Amino acid sequence: MTDPVIIFDTTLRDGEQSPGASMNTAEKLRIAVQLEKLGVDVIEAGFPAASEGDFEAVSKIAGRLKKTEVAGLARASRGDIDRAWQAVRHAARPRIHTFIATSDIHLQYKLKMSREEVVKAAVEAVRYAKSLTDTVEFSAEDGSRSDRDYLCRVFEAAIAAGATTVNLPDTVGYAVPEEFGELVRYVREHTPNIQKAVLSVHCHNDLGLATSNTLAAIRAGARQAEVTINGIGERAGNTSLEEVVMALHTRANFLKAGTGIHTEFIHPTSRLVSMITGIMVQPNKAVVGANAFAHEAGIHQDGVLKNPMTYEIMKPETIGLSASRLVLGKHSGRHALRTQLKDLGYDLSDDEVELVFTKFKELADKKKNVLDEDLEAIVTEGILRTADVFVLDYLHVTSGTTVLPMASVRLKINGRPVRDAGYGNGPIDAAFNTIGRLTGTASELLRFSISALTGGTDAMGEVTVRLRENGLLALGKGADPDIITASAKAYINGLNRLEYLKTHPVQEEAGL
Ligand code: KIV
Ligand code: ZN
């Protein structure tokens, strides 16, 4: 017998707090639709009071999803709660998530409030949220470093005021598993009305213990886990959805709890989030890393061939990695392409498939086999990127041992064509200098990396850049068989993300 654990996904809120991971509304909507398909119970779609962009994204997601609960985050203030409610009110299943810190260090230095004042603020916030909707979550920020009895008192008051979920965050990733499990047990035993609410946990990964802490909490009776795809989030990130879900799935015999997640969508969802945010998944990442199912040692390979269960505790198919995908080439048609895209988790409209098909044919003319990674790059370039201010129209570079590297570039800026040419230390430098001048931007290039998406000299090159302008950070990604074009695309993608951030400023005081 397994007990159900509610999966609360905060990729679009805490996950978006990863440095440089800002997403626009269309990108968030696409991830939300995929999360619904994955079967998460609650999506925290954003923090509506933080910015107009967040408000717009939460409202759009609320209007779109049919089954999944949509939560909006709010500090314990009427203004924030009103804003969150305005954004989620059209959801089939809305939730307001309000929070205030409960640790003495936060009370003294951040809030400058007494314990009594915080209890009062929490109660007023929950009561007000409850007057707007039935489903109200209350979080005690920095709960793991709060006085235990005070924490129980705040939870008791919040539940009495109408909270249907109380959440215990390990905000700074300080807890260790035994201690955190023990704290959850304590809260369950010392909060008199705890059975009237769901007890949730929300862990950060500063010590690499977020998943372990979450599992310890579930063992101790927590019944909601707050997670993000690929574990992205503030600083070292949040508990990763795929790790918790697959641990519960694989070790149900011991953990005796389960989720309603359709695990076969885990891998496609992980790829989608990585493609949209530009945050790569480390190759050795549990469950979704590129090497998670790769067996290198001969002795392991031999064992796996005789019986996969010798070294594989999970089947790759369970998370949506299919071993027997079609290999597409220039003779493949639309049907094969659509099937492959579906397998990869991309449910595209007819128009979108048509667009991908055109680019796929162009690539297949240059490259014998078009692999999954190539297709994903085409989808990211052509479909997932939307509402760009700057679009690359034309790029020509000259370089070599005897010429000064030069780039000639034509861009469209909000649809208007502009052109220029310039020099640099190398062809990429020349292209970046020219693009920077044409766009009138002054970003600083903090990181530049190139990798080959697949093997062979005809592989697609993937470039990631990290840019900073006036304190704003953005990642950009680009892929192309020509690495100079891939670099220019990545740079322009980063500049587009910076433009988005300039026009959707986050309210300073709303930052968590
Ligand atoms: O880490 C944290 O404490 C949070 C709360 C807002 C739940 O993200
Ligand atoms: Zn958090």
pTM: 0.85
DSSP E strands, 171-282 = 198-203, 224-227, 257-258
pLDDT, tens digit, 9 for 90 and up, residues 188-244: 999 999 999 999 999 999 999 999 999 999 999 999 999 999 999 999 999 999 999
67: which residues sit within 8 A by CB, 6+ positions away?
36, 92, 93
Question: pLDDT for 149-181, tens place per residue?
Answer: 999 999 999 999 999 999 999 999 999 999 999
CB of 267 closer than 8 Å to CB of 245: no
- Confidence (pLDDT) at 512: 62
482 CA → ligand 1 middle, Å: 42
Q: Is any ligand 1 atom within 6 A of the Cβ of residue 169?
A: yes
Q: What is the CATH number of domain 390-503?
A: 3.30.160.270
Q: What are phi and psi of 371, to 5 degrees?
A: -95, 170
* pLDDT of residue 509 exceeding 90: no
Q: Whose CA is nearest to atom 8 of ligand 1?
A: 14
Distance CA 220, CA 214 (A): 10
Distance between Cα 113 and ligand 1 center (Å) = 19
Q: Which residue's CA lies nearest to atom 5 of ligand 1?
A: 141
Q: How far is the CA of 247 from the centre of ligand 1 (A)?
A: 23
Mean pLDDT is lowest, of 50-54, 199-203, 208-212, 340-344, for 340-344
Six token digits for residue 68? 């999944």
Looking at all shown ligands, the one closest to residue 200's CA atom is 1
Q: Is the distance from CB of 432 to CB of 491 less than 8 angstroms?
A: yes
What pLDDT does residue 478 have?
Answer: 86
Ligand 1, atom nearest to 142 Cα: 3
Please report which helix (H) or strand (E) contains residue 335, including its range.
Answer: helix 334-343
For 162, how many CA atoms within 13 A lie in the half-sphere containing its CB? 18
Ligand 1 close to Cβ of residue 202 (< 6 A): yes
Pick the CATH number of 3-277 from 3.90.230.10, 3.90.1150.10, 3.20.20.70, 3.40.50.2300: 3.20.20.70
d(CA 321, CA 318): 7
- Return the pLDDT at 29: 94
Domains in the chain: boundaries = 3-277, 325-382, 390-503
Q: How many C-beta neighbours within 10 Å does residue 365 have?
A: 8
Q: What is the CA radius of gyration of the chain?
A: 24
Given ligand 1 and candidates 99, 138, 151, which is best to mutate, with the most ligand atoms within 8 Å of its CB?
99
| 82 contact partners, CB below 8 Å, separation of at least 6 | none
